[in-house]
Amino acid sequence: MKGVVFNILEEMVVEGYGMAVWNDILDEAQNSTGIFIAFESYPDEKLFELVGIICKKLDQPAEVIVEAFGQYLFGGLSKRHSHFDEAHDSLDSFLKSIHDVIHVEVAKLYNDPNLPAIECMDNPDGTMTLRYRSPRKLCLLAEGLIRGAATKFEQGIKLKHDVCMHKDSDFCDLVIEYTS
Ligand code: ZN
């Protein structure tokens, strides 16, 4: 996972709970200096370890923290790379640009970023299915990111996530209904 993701996790904790709490979290983690360089890669396990410690500290289940982090992560990435979402006037058009445009550009910016495969499909009932595939199975992070993007575009959404890699599927289908 790229350092930028760790940087934004730190921002979320510091903003919500203060620097002392972030330092406590780093103290509990195995050999962590807390210095993460945005464009460098760090082991996924390190991120999961930090998230695990945050869950214990805040007494929240991992699903809640990961989803909340996804929402925050969208804001953090959007601040750093605002041209990606500024190029779009709707959430739908933005989401459809992730795979072919944004991830291609991100791969140039961040060497070997190990991104999920995303596929978007319009459904006859007006909903849109965003199909997520990644060996990391971080579909809840993807859900949070979509919710973060919806907030940015001031677009109300309902999300269904019945087909899931955590329920014996090879992919996750995030079915998005635009409600406003
Ligand atoms: Zn899933």
Nearest-angstrom CA–CA distance, 175 and 150: 14
Distance 173 CA to ligand 1 centre (A): 7
Nearest-angstrom CA–CA distance, 117 and 132: 6
Distance 141 CA to ligand 1 centre (A): 9
Distance 155 CA to ligand 1 centre (A): 22
Distance 116 CA to ligand 1 centre (A): 12
**Which residues sit with Cβ closer than 5 angstroms to ligand 1, an ion?**
139, 164, 172
Nearest-angstrom CA–CA distance, 176 and 159: 5
pLDDT for 180 beyond 90: no
CA distance between the termini of the chain: 34
The 10s digit of each residue's pLDDT in 70-103 is 999 999 999 999 888 899 999 999 999 999 888 9
Nearest-angstrom CA–CA distance, 125 and 118: 21
In the prediction, which pLDDT does 33 show?
A: 81
The 10s digit of each residue's pLDDT in 12-22 is 999 999 999 99
Distance 66 CA to ligand 1 centre (A): 13
- Cβ atoms of 149 and 94 within 8 Å: the answer is yes
Q: What is the pTM of this model?
A: 0.92
CA distances from 7 to 10, 39, 66, 76, 112 (A): 5, 11, 15, 9, 18
Distance 63 CA to ligand 1 centre (A): 11
pLDDT for 23 beyond 90: yes
The 10s digit of each residue's pLDDT in 104-162 is 888 888 887 888 999 999 999 999 999 999 999 999 999 999 999 999 999 999 999 99
